[in-house]
Structure 1
């Protein structure tokens, strides 16, 4: 298995929508990912196996020194193989190269081992308002 990780990769909206639906267990949404990412993101990382999109992470930002990991997703048949951690590592490297000082993430409790152990995030105090 050879997987390539690409920053700000060109991708097909339908392929990313299918990966997102598979990874998060929801119906296809027909999202215009390209428009959304171009407007709100510092960048994104795609993981490719041959010509298939098997992983993705979005790096949103505040236009300054704060970047935010969103939508980390790996195809179900490639989970637990290090693909997600490699996506996040690539995102962190590229955010650092863009002069960001902080990379934030929030997640559900069951993802704690992934983000803290596999990706190296540290626990911090944060707040959240459910809208």
Structure 2
């Protein structure tokens, strides 16, 4: 299960085992994607893709240019939780499953200045 919320308060739960997190860089206007697996120990980052570089978007030295995007893997421990900034100015993230993407606003409503952060974590209907 994937939980969305903040400080352990669940706002939405989705029965997922894998997903892609996608967004557009707020300054460079370049799409970024990261693939995750939902595991009992947290969200495991797999491949990441970015279609360009710019402010805060340095491409790792071992990245491969494939199908118009730089693709790479970062070795990080499972994230539990994964904390995201989410503001009206930056736009919304998308959650993609089997090639179909939907904005987080489908489950959470639009980004709000009063709630500028969001956490994602693996759960079984409980807090992180």
User: TM-score, length-normalised on structure 2?
Assistant: 0.28
Higher RCO structure, 1 or 2 (CA under 8 Å, sep 6+): 2
Judging by fraction of residues, say which structure has more strand.
2
Judging by fraction of residues, say which structure has more helix.
1
User: TM-score, length-normalised on structure 1?
Assistant: 0.27
